Amino acid sequence: MKLERVVVTGCAGFLGSHLCEQLLAGGTEVVGIDCFTDYYARDLKERNLVELREHPRFTLLEIDLSSARLDGLLEGVDVVFHLAAQAGVRGSFGETFATYLRNNVQATQRLLEAAAQQQLPRVVYASSSSVYGDAERRPTPESTPRQPVSPYGMTKVATEELAGVYGRTRGVDAIGLRYFTAYGPRQRPDMAFTRFLTRSLKHEPLIVFGDGRQVRDFTYVDDVVAGTIAAAERGTAGAVYNIGGGTPVELLEVFELIGELLERPVDVEHRESVLGDARATGSSTELAAADLGYAPQVDLASGLAAQLEWLRELLAETGVPVRDRARVSLSSRA
């Protein structure tokens, strides 16, 4: 499928801004949608949009998908990339769950309804590895039962089910992507690598919840974007694909790697485990490789170095003195 004009929801976020830039670089016209929730500071999101706002083929719409009128929003659009969501596993417990229902479930249903009315060619939506919870097997294929261990993960299951309903009853061509722990420049401030690297650069101890032997399948942002675009171009209607990095590692190994990048040891402070965190994740990407040609290219050391350098520059801009620099430059696995 040729992508001439698309909509990207969550365009001011970590993944959304990178996706918009890559689409524009390929000649696509992009309509970006974001409601700038207060989950983290708006100025960080505005920073993500600086280059996009200057691009002649980019249009920004500040609307809330859970409540705004969507009439005509998708007219003339080839694909909607639906990345907007309320993020965060731990914050989804308790009274704040209402926000997750509104921003993840209700917003998705309303967007799918608009897609059905417009007879939109394709919707590519973001799901999450959180749907698997503590998966019964690793690497985890898409056929693995979904057993989320957080309300956030449950809302992503609901998103997938909504896409299925609209596919069966309204003919909406929807493709889901289960992202596995995306990282890289512009990663949200609440996410682990941003927290670890920021504290490292400030010579503060890294805070880890649990023993640090949790295993995660980390996926560099460029690989996430490549898989997302490939899903729009070549994915099978109704399918759900894992988009992972393919090399799960323990957090303790990550701490060692950060120390190597900074050429000094880092201190680690352990705290009690928290609800909602799966013990281990690991993606099987065989289906994405077969259907989408997906193959992650950036190794963890190179990706972490790129995120570290981005954070160093961000902290310097905000007046935080930083002496350390990453000593590893971005490279591919090849």
Strand partners, 240: 176
40 in catalytic set: no
Is residue 143 within 8 A of residue 99, CB to CB? The reply is no
> Given the structure tokens 């759900």, which residue do they identify?
240
The amino acid at residue 165 is V
Is residue 296 within 8 A of residue 262, CB to CB? The reply is no
Strand partners, 216: 249
Q: Which of 100, 125, 132, 152 is labelled catalytic?
A: 152
State the Cα–Cα distance between residues 137 and 57, nearest whole angstrom: 44
State the Cα–Cα distance between residues 22 and 16, nearest whole angstrom: 10
Cα three-residue angle 174-175-176, rounded to 5 degrees = 125
| Structure letter (DSSP) for residue 305 | H
Catalytic residues: 152
